[in-house]
Amino acid sequence: MTNDLDLLKQLAPRDATVLDAARREEDLEKILATPRTGASTAGSGGGIPRRAVIGGLAAAGAASILVVGSPLLPGGKPAAAFAATPPVLDGCLAEGGPATQALTSAAASAVRSTLTGSLGSRYSTWSLFTRVVNDQPVRSAVVPQDVNFSLVEDGSGQRTVRIGTPEVPVGSEVSDFDLPTPGTVIRDEKYGPGQTPRVYAGALSAEASTLWDQLSQAHPISELGTGELFVAITDLYKEQVPDPAVRAQLLRLLASRTDILDLGTLRDRTGRAGLAVGVSSSQPGGLPARFVMVFDPASGALLSYEQILTSSPGKLDVKIPSVIDYALFR
């Protein structure tokens, strides 16, 4: 078996929230035990002896096993050894000018917004993690996870993770794959007062330096750069919708970074149009990537986050450019 957890470490944008191998393997076992839709037994003898899996981690250490596929094409022909990844959204890799003015304007809109802050979050997510058994060629599909995270003031909460709607490679059919049933619950955890795992505990400050410190406590932004700031903000939205003053200050912090580009209007994976900003950065392993966030121009709230490898896959079996992580907020 070849296990690419070590390869994922090259891409790790943070420490405490990225690698939780035990919970990832637990989710994998749950997925493999769930009912399947459109199962194909071609080349498998009716079982699932070999499998390619791609997955990742949600915020606060919750594991996500996100892609399941069979190692052979329909009919038993070897497939190209590339893991399936989501399509790159139009405009994510565009060039652009400085985003300072657009982000400052969005901050002003956030202050005027009627969207209040709230604890908890609903989002869909997908991240890249590959495991290839017996060095076989892989045939995989993208299977996101839908997360419903509730949280109350006393620190009690519940996190429910369901299988999302799969995407299969162009030219393939869902029936070609052995996929878990959409809507299947693979994790449902309830927490008592003060027990809910969180990246950001306590109230967030609307004062710039204090908010920066709060973000930096969980994410090494000064070390890893603006891409890590994108990750920090995304992890925040996985736990709550910040109130208008905090939303505005987050946008001002972004506006203060000179390497962020204004990508104009971009549509997220649900078709919602928003202000898109991007930054080119490298993870600890040195793989160049483009980080993109899309904000609601009316409220300043985060709609979606994308991370895309742009020039080299390292040892990961993906084509370039390739989406390796996304979060889509509901």
Distance CA 185, CA 189 (A): 11
Q: What tokens appear for 233 in the block?
A: 């903000």
What are the pLDDT tens digits along the chain (330 aa)?
A: 333 333 333 333 334 333 344 555 555 555 555 655 543 333 333 222 222 222 332 333 322 333 333 333 334 444 445 778 899 999 999 999 999 999 999 999 999 999 999 999 999 999 887 555 555 545 578 889 999 999 999 999 999 999 998 887 777 777 777 788 899 999 999 999 999 999 998 899 999 999 999 999 989 999 999 999 999 999 999 999 999 999 999 999 999 999 999 999 999 999 999 999 999 987 656 789 999 999 999 999 999 999 999 988 877 778 899 999 999 999
Q: What tokens appear for 92 in the block?
A: 């994510």
Question: How many Cβ atoms from other residues are within 10 Å of residue 201's Cβ?
Answer: 13
Distance CA 37, CA 21 (A): 27
Q: What tokens appear for 115 in the block?
A: 């969207």
Write the single-letter amino acid at 245.
A
Write the single-letter amino acid at 24.
R
Q: What tokens appear for 129 in the block?
A: 């993690």
Per-residue confidence (pLDDT) for residue 21, from 0 to 100: 46
Contact call for residues 146 and 164 (beta carbons, < 8 A) = yes
pTM attached to this predicted model: 0.78
Per-residue confidence (pLDDT) for residue 26, from 0 to 100: 58
What DSSP element (H or E) covers 105? helix 100-112
Q: For residue 149, give the 3-state DSSP assignment.
A: strand
Per-residue confidence (pLDDT) for residue 65, from 0 to 100: 31
Per-residue confidence (pLDDT) for residue 38, from 0 to 100: 44
Per-residue confidence (pLDDT) for residue 141, from 0 to 100: 81
Question: Which residues are CB-neighbours of 76 under 8 A, at least 6 positions away?
Answer: 42, 43
- Indicate if the alpha-carbon torsion angle 69, 73, 81, 313 is positive or negative: negative
Q: What tokens appear for 101 in the block?
A: 């003015």
